[in-house]
Amino acid sequence: MSVISPRFSYHPPPISSRSNRRPRISCSSAPMDSSEKLRAKFMEFPYASAQQKALMVKLVSSVETRLGPSLQPCILPPDVQHFGNPNGTAHASIHLKSGIPSSQIDLILGSWIHCKLPSGGALNITSLSAYLKSSTDAPHFLIDLIQSSPTSLVLILDLTPRKDLILYPNYLKTYYEDTRMDKHRQYIQSLPEVRPYYSPSLYVRALISPTAILVNIDSGNSEAKTMEEIIRDHVGPVAEEMLQFWLDECACLEKCVEGDERAYLEKRDEIVKSTTIEVDLGSSFPRLFGEEVAGRVLSVLKEYYNA
């Protein structure tokens, strides 16, 4: 998820196996039309720019269309799918689907967050994360668009590794070298409006791959392209290509991981997901949404994250 943490925070702008246990909370008691309305509300991405919304809708739709038979519907209660703080300065929507027991999909998590800034502007974040189970060792997928003004954007885009790339050199070769994944980072960083972004969190730097795209895009002084054009012409095509690779070669390519290797993946994923909840979201949600709302949302997410 996004700006709410050292992982995706903006100060400045600043992921497994799952048990068979499922939370008792479900949407089964809600009518289908209510579920569809909540999904539609999420898919509005109401605070994103036109091109940012178009990109996120395309990415989420691509995941749901391709993985649809492997996904369970309506996984969160209504007051967790959409919520805000008491004074109306922050709003968020979370759309979470878990994989069916027989699939390799763990969680698909999309979100958007809008927060008014004391300066009078606003911070808007749109995110999509896709997690796999320990039946495969393939990377997870992650994209975050963190926008503090019409001309300033932080982009985080990566296939996050699930193995130590020194201990497992074939993993580095399979997913990052042979695929020439670094070409995407090089291309985005070659744009005149782009500068590398260095997260202040050492945890984030340890989590991402060596080909991760972490950049700050500033179109304020650009005479060539607006932010909308950069997202449409450059960020969008790269994100779509990386997602397509993840769908083809990670999510939908059956693998069989067993024994010590599977135990390793389970432990690593457990730590990553626990850190996401306890450190990232736990430190930021109360500040943005108040203790009551944050407590309600986090308690549900902890169940699905097994944190």
Encode pLDDT of 213-271 as tens digits.
999 999 987 666 899 999 999 999 999 999 999 999 999 998 888 899 999 999 999 99
Please report which confidence band the pLDDT of residue 23 belongs to, taking 50, 70 and 90 as the band edges. very low
Which H or E element spans position 239? helix 236-246
Tokens of 218: 């500033």
Q: Is residue 17 part of a domain?
A: no
Structural domain tally of the chain? 1
Domain assignment of residue 148, yes or no: yes
Residue 133 lies in a domain: yes
d(CA 304, CA 236): 30
Tell me the pLDDT of the chain averaged across its residues: 87
| Torsion angles phi and psi, residue 108, rounded to 5 | -120, 120
Q: What is the mean pLDDT of residues 75-88?
A: 92
Q: Is residue 8 part of a domain?
A: no
pLDDT confidence of residue 223:
63
Residue 12, preceding bond cis, omega within 30 degrees? yes
| Residue ranges making up the domain that contains 234 | 32-305
41: CB partners within 8 A, 6+ apart: 81, 82, 93
Strands 152-160 and 194-196: unpaired
Residue 149 domain-assigned (yes or no)? yes
Query: Which tens digit of pLDDT belongs to each residue from 109-122?
Result: 999 999 998 888 89
| Predicted local distance difference test score (pLDDT) of residue 282 | 81
Mean pLDDT of 159-180: 96
Does 73 map to a domain?
A: yes
- What would the pLDDT profile of 89-136 be if each residue is shown by its tens digit? 999 999 999 999 999 999 999 999 999 988 888 999 999 999 999 999
Do the domain assignments include residue 241? yes
Average pLDDT, stretch 46-60? 97
Q: Is residue 38 part of a domain?
A: yes
Q: Which CATH number goes with the domain that contains 245?
A: 3.40.1500.20
